Amino acid sequence: MKMATLLCATLPGPAMADVIACDLSGTPVRFEIDRTQFAPALDAQEPARRRVTTVQMGDARFPAEPIMIGNTVGFWAEGLGGTELMMIMQADGSAVFANARAGEHLSGTCEVVQ
C-alpha cells in the first residue's frame, strides 16, 4: 500500500493548459489552450484527435475548436444558424473576434493568466 501511494505521489499530473483572458471591446472572453491536444500522433494508424475548449464570452458559454499556429492562438466555433465565430490572439496580446454572419467584429487585448 505504501508503494502504491508513493508511486501515485511521484507520477506527473496532467499538463496545465494556458488560460487566456481577453477584453474585446468591453466583452470579457476566457478560454484555454491545452498544448497537448496539438501533439502529433504517436502512430500513423491513430485516429485524428478532436481538439476542444470551452469559451466563456460575456454570459455565453460554448464549445470551440482551439487554434494554435506558432505564438498565435485562438478558437473557431460554429454558432446557431450556421454562423462561424473566430477569435485570434497575436503574440503581442492584440486580438480580434469576428462573427461574419452577424457582422460583429470586436478587437482588444488578451493575456495568458495561467
Which pLDDT score is estimated for 5?
A: 44
The predicted pLDDT at position 15 comes to 56
> What's the pLDDT score for residue 41?
77
Question: What is the DSSP pairing of strand 53-57 with strand 72-78?
Answer: unpaired
d(CA 66, CA 87): 9
Rounded to two decimals, the pTM is 0.78
CATH number corresponding to 15-37+51-112: 2.40.128
Task: Please state, in angstroms and rounded to a whole number, the distance separating the CA atoms of residues 102 and 111.
Answer: 26
Residues lower than pLDDT 50 in the chain: 1, 3-11, 13
pLDDT of residue 28: 98
